[in-house]
Structure 1
Amino acid sequence: MTQLEAARKGIITPEMEEVARNEGRAPEEIRALVAEGAAVIPANRNHSGVSACGIGRGLRTKVNVNLGISPDCRNHEVEFAKAELAERMGANALMDLSCEGDTRPFRKALIARTRLPVGTVPVYDAEGMGKSLEDLTADDFLSMLARHAEDGVDFVTLHAGITRECLDLLEEGERIMPVVSRGGSLIAEWMRKTGEENPFYACFDRVLEICREYDVTISLGDACRPGAVHDATDSLQIQELITLGRLVKRARKAGVQVMVEGPGHMRLPEIEANVLLQKKLCHGAPFYVLGPVVTDVAPGYDHITSAIGGALAAWFGADFLCYVTPAEHVRLPTLEDVREGIIAARIAAHAADLAKGIPGAEAWDRCMSEARGRLDWDAMMEEALDPEKPSRMRAESVPGDPRVCTMCGRMCSIKRMQEAAPHP
């Protein structure tokens, strides 16, 4: 049985118990969320030792880290180092976005090395099939998916919602950037060259059979997500979302766990409406967002633009944030880019959890505040989301009085109020 099928039969699996411990919730609560489809636990039967991660309503907002080799950057060891860094810095999942040649050796090695759930985009293998794109068949696309599932991938992004109807809307529209999704553009190009329907949409029943066999969670990709704030919340994006909502119902009926991906670039006032619309049209499925990136003008700083949007999206109900690094739109990220992207996304996730009242979020902030109130620097570093950076900064600027920092020195408000406190 899949996690979804077990939950519907009233069975609490070991993965549900692990999620319950991590979330500070009762196992029965987790089972009920999974049974409803309001939460997913990506855990492929072939991923030995995968750490159970719950993604969905009322759970801590989770953070995903992208990595993988590309035609210009093929160093496997650097990408493995990114995976190790992500795990060490508290990320909750990895996505292997490799798109160069035979991706399988790297993918299998990554799955063997990490306990984090691993996601992929099987259609990226189109470039390594030894055929021109237009010569690929529906069976070729399905074989890509089956190979990833067999290898132990825990969740897969499938751009099943970009249909021929979407292509017609694309021709009529006024987008600045028609399709910015890499996987979505491959599917769109294939449909245009062959005249056929999207194979992941047309053969969705076969997709479900493959995913059910291995308990792979489907992440329905937003091929038509806006890549510019000008393009946000247009008819093309909404048409795809309506289709994804129908596919959510079909996946659940087949016993397959499913979540839905979302935008993209958009203005601040549009974020709440987009989250509410997704939750409504997609029947409460967990929502996985890239950003949203709230302005187009900050290349080199898009970990910040996305953290702003991600915090708002998660506050309004998004469940899973895909990190964005400073290198977004510019290059493949370095290790330092990855570090900055993880921290920005984790700050956004925690800020949203604090606003939503997720169990444990406020207690963490209170611990930090109390440590500051005592001028307990060791405790402050222990509570810090990233202890390494503030510890280094303090060591680089040593105060004359070790109780304070070099910003205020003897004018430290906390120290002065402690000294001025009435004696018992």
Structure 2
Amino acid sequence: MSSKENLLWAAIGGEESPAISVVAEAEGMAPDLLQRRVAAGRAVVMVRDGKPPLGIGEGLRTKVNANVGTSADLIDPDGEVEKAMAAERYGADTVTDLSMGGPIDEIFRRIKKATSAPLTTVPIYQAVAEKGSFDSITGGEILQTIRKQVGAGASSVVVHAAITLDMLVELKRAKRIMGVVSKGGSFTSAWMLQKGEENPFLAHFDEICGVLAERDAVLSLGNTMRSGCISDPMDAVQVAEMEMNADLAKRANDLGVQVIVEGMGGHVRPDKIPEYVALYKKRTNYRPLFVAGPLPIDIGVGYDHIAGSVGGAMAAGAGADYLCYITPSEHLALPDAAQVREGVVAFKIAAHIGDTMKYGPRLEDEMLARHRRKRNWGDQFKLAIDGDRAMEIRSRGGTDGCTMCGKYCAIAIMEDHLR
């Protein structure tokens, strides 16, 4: 595919696109409206060869991403494939492979074979893992990694392009408790400081866009400067990164690349979440906004998937388009498949709440309520976000009714007396 024949150029040119038509039907949106939003950069359509496309952005359902992947300390390719499959089974819309140990290319191929969701990568992870350190990588090698990952089928890649040496100087003066908590951002920043050179993603930005445009891959502009605790408010360097990402998003769109902006993630005071979402959306011209969490408290360790779900629901309701899940293992360890399931379900709940806030109640909620009134368990399980879990709990009762009330069911009692 020529970069002049890709999905974004087609949308800008007013041409019909099968991928846009499929997404529009799935979302209940008119195809021409979605086409205009893609053309304006307010929505993106992720594609993956032979799999259903996925829409993210204005007027579309809030989507959930699940991170999987090996670490340098824990390398279990089979386990990562199992986690990717669990993530997709329980509703993850996209899967990101963050592998930094073991046969990274093989792990990606296996995850791709075992799943159908669009796949995202963070190229600097693999570049650092294969070289053994961030300071020995060249800009050309980073570009080569991007080419390899996109060629292998990545639907989206994350780059931390919106940081400069001047920002890092300003960061040293910032009174942050947590500093930089973005792993990809820390690699990029450390590379810049070690070499005394400007951002390699910025230096090669047009070339990166050329690779992505040719393959119809989406560019996700990472946020290095997000806050790592709720006591660290939005500061000057975070605002500067937001402003720069907004400019880079426009540049990428001009080069034929669809863009998602990452922002406001990490840890954010709950009263600031709607304000920050509105700021990011307005400054980036309402491009799709991806948020990690956010965590509205810091003391939920071990239950960060619950805390993050609360923050994610608030962010989605305020206008965020795309949530990165958090598992119970956040800040503690690499999650297992069971914890991936918990994280995905928590954030599917968050996304559903956010969509209810944005668009009004969903039909599924009313349908489940009607089945609940009839004590129709099977149909409730089909509609539940995690019907397997509901069925597991229900099966322990051993009776036709709910063991919480038994024969004293409020619904049944009033049905008898109002009949």
Q: TM-score, normalised by structure 1?
A: 0.95
2:9 corresponds, among 5, 20, 32, to 5
Alignment deviations for residues 274-311 of structure 1 (CA, whole Å, 9 cap, x no partner): 11111111111100111110111111100011100000
1:406 corresponds, among 361, 378, 403, to 403
Separation in 1, partners of 2:102, 2:161: 23
Contact 1:375–1:414 under 8 Å retained in 2: no
Question: Structure 2 matches for 1:218-233, cutoff 5 A?
Answer: 218-233=219-234
**Equivalent residue, structure 1, for 2:111:** 110
2:404 counterpart of 1:421: no
Structure 1 unaligned blocks of 5 or more: none
Shift of 1:338: 0.5
Q: Percent identity?
A: 39
Separation in 2, partners of 1:125, 1:348: 31
Shift of 1:254: 0.9
Separation in 1, partners of 2:295, 2:274: 14
2:314 corresponds, among 312, 315, 327, to 312
Give SS of 1:64's match. strand
Contact 2:128–2:137 under 8 Å retained in 1: no
Contact 2:192–2:198 under 8 Å retained in 1: yes
**Equivalent residue, structure 1, for 2:91:** 90
**Equivalent residue, structure 2, for 1:140:** 141
Separation in 1, partners of 2:332, 2:371: 40
Separation in 2, partners of 1:270, 1:329: 22
Structure 2 unaligned blocks of 5 or more: none
Separation in 1, partners of 2:134, 2:379: 57
**Equivalent residue, structure 1, for 2:24:** 20
Instruction: Assess, with a 3 A threshold, how the Cα gap between structure 1 residues 336 and 129 changes in structure 2: closer, same or farther.
Output: closer
Question: Structure 2 matches for 1:4-403, cutoff 5 A?
Answer: 4-43=8-47, 47-100=48-101, 102-130=103-131, 132-262=133-263, 263-357=265-359, 362-399=362-399, 402=400
Give SS of 1:375's match. coil
Q: Which amino acid aligns with 2:283?
A: L
Contact 1:286–1:320 under 8 Å retained in 2: yes
Contact 1:102–1:128 under 8 Å retained in 2: no
Give SS of 1:54's match. strand
Give SS of 2:223's match. coil
Separation in 2, partners of 1:209, 1:11: 21
Contact 2:88–2:117 under 8 Å retained in 1: yes
Give SS of 2:262's match. strand
Separation in 1, partners of 2:379, 2:217: 41
Contact 2:381–2:390 under 8 Å retained in 1: yes
Give SS of 1:293's match. coil
Q: CA RMSD in A?
A: 1.4
Contact 1:245–1:282 under 8 Å retained in 2: yes
Instruction: Assess, with a 3 A threshold, how the Cα gap between structure 1 residues 381 and 272 changes in structure 2: closer, same or farther.
Output: same
Separation in 2, partners of 1:409, 1:420: 17
Shift of 1:109: 2.6
Greater alpha carbon shift after TM alignment, 17-26 vs 236-245: 17-26
Contact 2:70–2:102 under 8 Å retained in 1: no
Separation in 2, partners of 1:368, 1:200: 48
Separation in 1, partners of 2:134, 2:407: 68
Shift of 1:104: 1.5
Give SS of 1:229's match. coil
Separation in 2, partners of 1:3, 1:233: 35
Instruction: Assess, with a 3 A threshold, how the Cα gap between structure 1 residues 87 and 132 changes in structure 2: closer, same or farther.
Output: closer
Shift of 1:115: 1.5
Q: TM-score, normalised by structure 2?
A: 0.96
Give SS of 2:131's match. coil
- Count residues with an aligned counterpart: 414
Instruction: Assess, with a 3 A threshold, how the Cα gap between structure 1 residues 219 and 150 changes in structure 2: closer, same or farther.
Output: same
